[in-house]
Structure 1
Amino acid sequence: MDSGDFSRRTLLRAGGVAAAAGMLPGVAFADQPGGSGSQTRTVTGTLKPDVPDWYYLPVDVPRGVRQIDVVYSYDRPTVPAGTRGNACDIGIFGPEGHDVGNARGFRGWSGGFRDRFSISASEATPGYLAGPVKPGRWHVILGPYTVAPQGLNYRVDITLTFGPDGTPFKPNPAPEAAPARERGRAWYRGDSHLHTVHSDGRRTPDQLVADARAAGLDFIVSTDHNTSSSQLVWGDHAADDLLILNGEEVTTRSGHWPAIGLPAGTWIDWRYRAADPRDFRRFTDQVHRAGGLVTAAHPFANCFGCTYEFAYELADLVEVWNGPWTQDDEASVIHWDGLLRGGRFIPAIGDSDAHNPDQRVALPHTVVLADRLRRQELLAGLAAGRSWLAESASVQLDFTVSGGGASAGIGERLAAGTGTPVTVNAVVAGVPGTTVTFLDQLGPEHTEPIGDSGAATVTWTTYPRYSRWVRVEVRRPSGGPNTTVPNAMVAMSNPIFLGTGH
């Protein structure tokens, strides 16, 4: 079937929110005599550069189907320098519906990482949800990420295999505790932005667990793009010395925002842009009702659709450091510091965003003070800003302030009078060849170099009259082994607030 060129639009409505999308002519399958064998239908067509973000291909599935297989391809014509070529994502919704926010209908997403997928009652391709192939109208979703001036020629092959269902898939989420790493109220190290083969990562869950343990982490958050499939299998790969939390990197055309600390099986929709803030608020509210947190990811990443364009006031965390230190991270820290100076404190977080084995897990990661190594307590520590960011587990930082007979730590407030002298104290280790800098709302205030031993205690005195808050950065002037950018970050803290204000 040739679907030709399409400009027909439909509105997908859910809760009063509308998202523009295209609808392709559908395909239908006949009942299979004898209830065995398979049928294949093929759809081809062209998408022009002025298409919407999503196209839906209806597939009418009869009774008695055991498995659905989809294979797709598209052309990649040569384009002039500076012009975007073709890239197209794919996923699928079941007969329960494909309206925006319909988690019951969602059956999987692989973006542009795979050219095929399968779903049956017993198993599914990573990124997709196993379960019965129910009769009714399914929808293959095509997401033309970028389209060349010549257009995007595509082909979709859909195969239905008939027969009885196999043994039903049984979800096995990760355990809710990691007793070998439990230390009560303590500082816990975690990487909250990681990918596996369930989206566009090259690590299997087993490989990610092994690398996280080797990096000295206490917890990780699995954040595969736009799917909840990995959340249902982490129990097959968990160890008692690593807590695995669930998440999803909600990957929209207006930026990425990892939802972290979700109950297993939670799916968050991504079919909207920042132009309509109602959509973003609707789904951030969903995350918060589920007990999770919203992260503004890599705000200045230099790739189409990666730069964060949504409202910061709806985010719980800002990922100011993503992977090896780059100028993008520098811009993120400057922007985050500007929000802080303007009176808006959104705690900073650092994550590796590791996809492939050559990308180091825990470079960087976040060290959070929590009452115990459990989801609720870790998220509470992150949301309060009781955390600091580190290049590796060898980096140690203890940052406090004291004055007027009281003391405070990261994310806390020292309620001292404006004229009370406040001693700012940072104890560092594992940071040879770096500098330690104290900053307040005026910028850098005090800097000391750290020698070859990599360990030192740095102090400085200020007053609440002059400093509304203080924070610390540890940088390596030479850049170092993890980056080519000079003055690279090695560790940084969230602020400690001074004075009696709120």
Structure 2
Amino acid sequence: MCNEEEHAGHAMARRGLLVTGAAAALTLGTVSFASAAPPDGGRRTEVVRGTLPPGSPDYVYLPVEVPRGVREIRVSYRYERPAQPAGTAGNALDIGIFDERGTALGGAGFRGWSGGARTEFFIRADEATPGYIPGPVRPGTWHIALGPYTVAPQGLPYEVTVTLTYGEQAPAPEAVHPPERAKGRGRAWYRGDCHLHSWYSDGRRTPAEIAALARAAGLDFINSSEHNTHSAHPHWAAEAGDDLLILLGEEVTTRNGHVVALGTDPGTFVDWRYRARDNRFGHYAREIRRAGGLVVPAHPHATCIGCNWKFGFGEADAVEVWNGPYTPDDEVSLADWDSTLALAARNGGRWTPAMGSSDAHRDPDPVGTPQTVVLADDLTREAILDGIKAGRSYVAESKNVSLGFSAAGGRGRHAGIGERLRVDDKDPVTVRLEVEGAPGCTVRFVTDQGVLHSAALPASGTGTVEWRTTARYATYVRAEVRHAPVMPPLPGALAAFTNPVFLGG
């Protein structure tokens, strides 16, 4: 039996204002069902309609009173998307849900998020739509979370349909997570892609398909990084193996930039419902580190709405300088990151290593383009994260490109990527880059003064380039391997680049 009722009139006059910690959010009128399961079981449906005006808060909560005896909650929604003139944002509405434990920042009640990737979802004790967390459907006030990403000038009319199915709940599955160790090669260079999306957020590939593509791309490790949900974590164990380490994390998608929580403990959820003005990012960055992970701002100069990084880099353990196929915003990210190296070299402070990841979502997005190549003591979660945080890494466009980069001084002193060569200011230093797999490319040595040496590689793409300098002349040196420029004098796209070697005491 299905009893459908319609709740209109959720206009601004019916809305209350709820302050949730750092940010203000609107709470709509409550959707109520019968206080107990009907004697015949079956389903009950309620429909809510309303319009969100321009300038709506980032999150609007629709409370739903869930009675006892419910085995499944199912939600669908739709909204109007009228055409807009060029330069005017149209309507985009995200969706998720919190259970009876509430919507407070920190996410105790978090049960799933699909953003704008799905128009409906369900939650049961034994199963849930990808992006959502299976588990008991307990009685109490649940909250459907609506996120008006952009609102057209004429407003955003929406309709939400909530269906409760009554009956006995099935047992909840026991979560199994991938191991934190794979069969490595001891201290060696390991290739990984730490920013990937499956159908557990807005991707289109299954974990199995991603794992197969990762192996084909020559990767040794990957990281699960779904938008604003950890729902994929229990679904990766079957794809791990001796040859592939699978780390767990999340892409925390705020309105002021995205950050990859890299290699966190299984089941870690990181909230995203704040902006830079709310002064909350530091708290959640520390939460990521307490869960054993790294804080990695993603595509900091991306041009999509809400993607540009506004939180600063004081809490970053690394930064994703290269995201997917090389584009102008990656060039800006690279230059911005390089400027931070000069400051760190001058004051001897902490520097932020660079990374690269594919951010692959669906075909034909290539997994492993680019990939971060990390010098680690073994193929374990701890060792890989240690290598990334220390900057012992370079970024390559594919498994075909390999680099060896070092600096040598007098008395047998030697330093590799991410290290410091401790020599006197006037001592001669020899910088050496060995390259394989980069035909038609040019090597550039970049310092705090800019590019001080460049040389073309042999046609085979395999060769060695050396350059001599001093710590007085260059406080750091990093290497780039670039394709031929398409529009000289602008440089060509990267084939690879390294983190720096610092020179001097």
Instruction: Give the TM-score of the pair, scaled to structure 1.
Output: 0.95
Match of 1:77 among 47, 62, 82: 82
Match of 1:434 among 441, 455, 470: 441
Query: Deviation at 1:10?
Result: 3.0
Contact 2:94 2:146 in 1 (8 A): yes
The answer to whether structure 1 residue 37 and structure 2 residue 39 are counterparts is no
Could you report, residue by residue, the CA deviation over 1:318-352 in whole angstroms, capped at 9, with x for unpaired residues?
Answer: 11100001000000001001111222621000000
Task: Report which stretch shifted further, 466-475 or 164-173.
Answer: 164-173
Match of 2:501 among 477, 496, 502: 496
Query: Deviation at 1:12?
Result: 3.9
Could you report, residue by residue, the CA deviation over 1:74-98 in whole angstroms, capped at 9, with x for unpaired residues?
Answer: 0001111110000000000000111
What are the within-5 Å matches in structure 2 for residues 327-406 of structure 1? 327-343=328-344, 345-404=351-410, 405-406=412-413
Q: Could you say what secondary structure the match of 1:275 adopts? A: helix
Match of 1:420 in 2: 427
Query: Deviation at 1:32?
Result: 2.1
Query: Deviation at 1:133?
Result: 0.3
Aligned-residue sequence identity (percent) comes to 54
Q: Give the Cα–Cα distance (whole angstroms) in 2 for the partners of residues 5 and 255 of structure 1.
A: 30
The residue type equivalent to 1:339 in the other structure is T
Could you report, residue by residue, the CA deviation over 1:445-469 in whole angstroms, capped at 9, with x for unpaired residues?
Answer: 1100012111111001111111111
Q: Give the Cα–Cα distance (whole angstroms) in 1 for the partners of residues 435 and 283 of structure 2.
A: 42
Q: Could you say what secondary structure the match of 1:379 adopts? A: helix
Match of 1:94 among 86, 92, 99: 99
Q: Could you say what secondary structure the match of 1:191 adopts? A: strand
Match of 2:171 among 167, 172, 188: 167
Q: Give the Cα–Cα distance (whole angstroms) in 1 for the partners of residues 439 and 166 of structure 2.
A: 64
Contact 2:25 2:60 in 1 (8 A): yes
Contact 2:297 2:316 in 1 (8 A): yes
State the Cα RMSD in Å.
1.3
Match of 2:161 in 1: 157
Contact 1:192 1:351 in 2 (8 A): yes
The answer to whether structure 1 residue 407 and structure 2 residue 414 are counterparts is yes
Match of 1:282 in 2: 283
The 1:379–1:35 alpha-carbon spacing in structure 2 relative to 1, beyond 3 Å, is farther
Contact 2:197 2:359 in 1 (8 A): yes
The 1:479–1:381 alpha-carbon spacing in structure 2 relative to 1, beyond 3 Å, is farther
Q: Could you say what secondary structure the match of 2:314 adopts? A: helix
The 1:85–1:466 alpha-carbon spacing in structure 2 relative to 1, beyond 3 Å, is same
Match of 1:259 in 2: 261
Q: Give the Cα–Cα distance (whole angstroms) in 2 for the partners of residues 73 and 446 of structure 1.
A: 57
The answer to whether structure 1 residue 237 and structure 2 residue 239 are counterparts is yes
The residue type equivalent to 2:362 in the other structure is N
Structure 2 stretches lacking a partner, 5+ long: 1-6, 345-349
Structure 1 stretches lacking a partner, 5+ long: none
Contact 2:23 2:278 in 1 (8 A): no
Contact 1:475 1:490 in 2 (8 A): yes
Q: Give the Cα–Cα distance (whole angstroms) in 2 for the partners of residues 24 and 470 of structure 1.
A: 56
Match of 1:54 in 2: 59
Q: Give the Cα–Cα distance (whole angstroms) in 2 for the partners of residues 126 and 238 of structure 1.
A: 19
Match of 1:318 in 2: 319
Query: Deviation at 1:402?
Result: 0.5
Task: Report which stretch shifted further, 168-177 or 73-82.
Answer: 168-177
Q: Could you say what secondary structure the match of 1:203 adopts? A: coil
Query: Deviation at 1:435?
Result: 0.3
Contact 1:11 1:18 in 2 (8 A): no
Contact 1:54 1:144 in 2 (8 A): yes
Match of 2:22 in 1: 18
Q: Which runs of 4+ in 1 moved over 4 A?
A: none
Q: Give the Cα–Cα distance (whole angstroms) in 1 for the partners of residues 40 and 268 of structure 2.
A: 34
Contact 2:22 2:278 in 1 (8 A): no
Q: Give the Cα–Cα distance (whole angstroms) in 2 for the partners of residues 35 and 232 of structure 1.
A: 35
Q: Give the Cα–Cα distance (whole angstroms) in 2 for the partners of residues 338 and 219 of structure 1.
A: 30
Contact 1:3 1:24 in 2 (8 A): no
The residue type equivalent to 1:184 in the other structure is G
Contact 2:66 2:141 in 1 (8 A): yes
Contact 2:16 2:28 in 1 (8 A): no
Q: Could you say what secondary structure the match of 2:282 adopts? A: helix
Q: Give the Cα–Cα distance (whole angstroms) in 1 for the partners of residues 312 and 426 of structure 2.
A: 37
Q: Could you say what secondary structure the match of 2:58 adopts? A: coil
Query: Deviation at 1:233?
Result: 1.5
Task: Report which stretch shifted further, 158-167 or 30-39.
Answer: 30-39
What are the within-5 Å matches in structure 2 for residues 105-254 of structure 1? 105-179=109-183, 182-254=184-256
Query: Deviation at 1:35?
Result: 6.1
The 1:145–1:384 alpha-carbon spacing in structure 2 relative to 1, beyond 3 Å, is same
Give the paired residue count: 489
Q: Give the Cα–Cα distance (whole angstroms) in 1 for the partners of residues 463 and 238 of structure 2.
A: 43
Contact 2:18 2:27 in 1 (8 A): no
Contact 1:35 1:163 in 2 (8 A): no
The residue type equivalent to 1:458 in the other structure is V
Contact 2:248 2:265 in 1 (8 A): yes
Match of 2:460 in 1: 453
Instruction: Give the TM-score of the pair, scaled to structure 2.
Output: 0.95
Q: Give the Cα–Cα distance (whole angstroms) in 2 for the partners of residues 208 and 240 of structure 1.
A: 16
Task: Report which stretch shifted further, 374-383 or 341-350.
Answer: 341-350
Q: Give the Cα–Cα distance (whole angstroms) in 2 for the partners of residues 174 and 355 of structure 1.
A: 21
Query: Deviation at 1:386?
Result: 0.6
Task: Report which stretch shifted further, 55-64 or 340-349.
Answer: 340-349
Contact 2:482 2:491 in 1 (8 A): no
The residue type equivalent to 1:119 in the other structure is I
The 1:495–1:9 alpha-carbon spacing in structure 2 relative to 1, beyond 3 Å, is farther
Contact 1:9 1:20 in 2 (8 A): no
Query: Deviation at 1:5?
Result: 2.0
Match of 2:451 in 1: 444
Q: Give the Cα–Cα distance (whole angstroms) in 2 for the partners of residues 3 and 386 of structure 1.
A: 58
The residue type equivalent to 1:307 in the other structure is N
Q: Give the Cα–Cα distance (whole angstroms) in 1 for the partners of residues 482 and 22 of structure 2.
A: 46
Q: Give the Cα–Cα distance (whole angstroms) in 2 for the partners of residues 219 and 35 of structure 1.
A: 51
Match of 1:3 among 9, 14, 24: 9
The residue type equivalent to 2:439 in the other structure is P
